[in-house]
Each structure stands twice: as C-alpha cells, then as structure tokens.
Structure 1
Amino acid sequence: MIVGLGSDLCNIERIQASLDRFGTRFEARVFTEVERAKAARRPFTAAGTYAKRFAAKEAFSKAVGTGFRRGVFMKDIGVVNAASGAPTLALEGGARQALERMIPDGMTAHIHLTLTDDHPWAQALVVIEALPTDPQSHD
C-alpha cells in the first residue's frame, strides 16, 4: 500500500548560484559524500546532478509529511543507486525515524524514486510503499 507521495521541482540555475556563492560549504551542508562524489565525476553537469538530488530530498520530506522539521535534515537523505542502477534513497537519523514512524507494524518500507532534468529544471518524485514483511502472511 502507498503511504507517502512527494514531488519537487528545482531550478538548476538556483543550485548553480548556491555553488558559485557558497561552494564546498553548500555541498557539505546539503549533500552526502556519495552525492558529492557523483557530482565531482560530472563537472560539466554538477549543478544538474545536485539539483536532482536536492529535489529528491524535498520530495522525500513531503512524502513523510515533515518537511525539514522534527529532526529531518537534508544531509540525512541521500540518493544512491540500487544494484539494478535505479535511484533510491539511503536514510539516516531523523529521516529514517520519520519513515519508520509511518510504516505500519508487520510491514517494510520500499521507496520508489524517479529523477529527471531538462535545463533549467530538475524534478524528483518519491513514492513510499509499505509491503508485508512476511509475504506469506497475506496469501
């Protein structure tokens, strides 16, 4: 069952302006090491890479219904790739706790994430699904 849905649209030029103004301070405050490493491998599209990830963080905060309050911080939400290559989220701290609070007993969270960009926009959509922990129990 779907328990959370969030989307966000981020302006790539706004992210570039933050990179130009604050540089590594902005990167370190908002993005995980994995995200910064990915952007470093894409020097000509770093702002777009960051903008998609910024949008994913915003979309997740909307999907769990907290925004960036109640202990949910941007840096606790990281975009990673699953073994299949599909993007998903790695959560820590308050972001993980917010997710755990919304999942019913006997269920496990599965996060669906899609990212796209078309300059000057980057977009992310997060769907949080609660699946039975023991699939046999629902036959």
Structure 2
Amino acid sequence: MISGIGLDITELDRIAELDNKSDKFRNRILTTEEQQYYQKLSGHRRVEFLAGRFAAKEAYAKALGTGIGPTCSFLDIAILPNEKGAPFLYFKGKAVDGFVSITHTKKVAAAQVILQKM
C-alpha cells in the first residue's frame, strides 16, 4: 500500500553555481558515502549527481510528509546505488520501504519517491 508520494525538480545551473562557490552546499546535502561517489565523478556529471540527490531528498521529505527540517534533514537521507546500480533510499541508516527514481536533462534534475506501508 502506498503511504506517500513526493516529487521534486531542480535546475542544474542553480546547483552548479552553489557547488562552484564552495563545498558548503555539497556538505549540507551529501552524506559521507554519497560524497565518495561524487568525488569519483568529473565535470558536468558531478552537477547531475548533486542535483539529483538534492531533488530526491526533497522528494523523500515530501513523501514522508515532514519536509526538510528538524525531523528529516538532508544528511538523514542517503541515496546509494543497489547491487544493480539503481538508486536506493536509506533514512537514518535504515533501508526505506519504497522507490526512488532520478532523471536529468541538460537543464534540470528531477526525482520521484514512492513510499510503501506494509
């Protein structure tokens, strides 16, 4: 049974501008494990990765019904590849019962999260 749905879209130029300014935004958004993946990327792929994770975390917080805040911070949420390379959600270190999809165009990244309840 679906317990929540979230959707978010963000402009790549906005994320690139923030990331080029300093690492402050990136450190606020990406967990240590996610930053390890980010560091392996180069050029525009880094911007896509960061924007995709930002959108997915916003979408998760919307699906959860809390938004980003004291009960759900960006660093509470991790999106790491599963054994097939697809993104998989974790919240406060525990696997989330749900789905995340991340996509990019030349200008935007978008993500959708669907949460399930047993």
- Do Structure 1 and Structure 2 share a fold, with TM-score over 0.5? yes
Amino acid in the other structure paired with 1:27: R
Residue 115 (structure 1) aligned to one of 69, 78, 102: 102
Matched residue type, 1:113: V
Matching residue of 1:11? 11
Gaps of 5+ in 2: none
The residue identity in structure 1 corresponding to 2:52 is K
Length-normalised TM-score, structure 1: 0.77
Output one character per residue of 1:85-123: Cα deviation in whole Å (capped at 9) or x when no partner. 221111118xx7xxxxxxxxxxxx512011110011001
Q: How does 1:54-73 map to 2 (within 5 A)?
A: 54-73=54-73
| Larger Rg computed on CA atoms | 1
Question: In the alignment, residue 116 of structure 1 is paired with which amino acid?
Answer: T
C-alpha deviation, 1:124, in angstroms: 0.4
Q: 1:136 aligns to what?
A: none
Task: Tell me how far apart the structure 2 counterparts of residues 38 and 70 of structure 1 sit (CA, whole Å).
Answer: 26
Structure 1 residue 83 displacement after superposition = 2.1
Match of 1:88 in 2: 88
Structure scoring higher RCO (CA < 8 A, sep ≥ 6) equals 2
The residue aligned with 1:33 is 32
3-state SS in 2 of match to 1:125: strand
One-letter amino acid matched to 1:6: G
Tell me if the contact between 1:35 and 1:50 (Cα under 8 Å) persists in the aligned partners.
Answer: no
Taking structure 2 as the reference length, what is the TM-score of the superposition?
A: 0.90
Residues 87 and 114, structure 1, Cα contact 8 Å, conserved in 2: yes
In structure 2, how many angstroms separate the alpha carbons of the residues matched to 1:31 and 1:46? 12
Compute the RMSD of aligned alpha carbons: 1.8
Runs of 4+ in 1 over 4 A off after TM superposition: none
What does residue 124 of structure 1 align with?
111
- Is contact 1:8–1:125 with CA below 8 Å preserved after alignment? yes
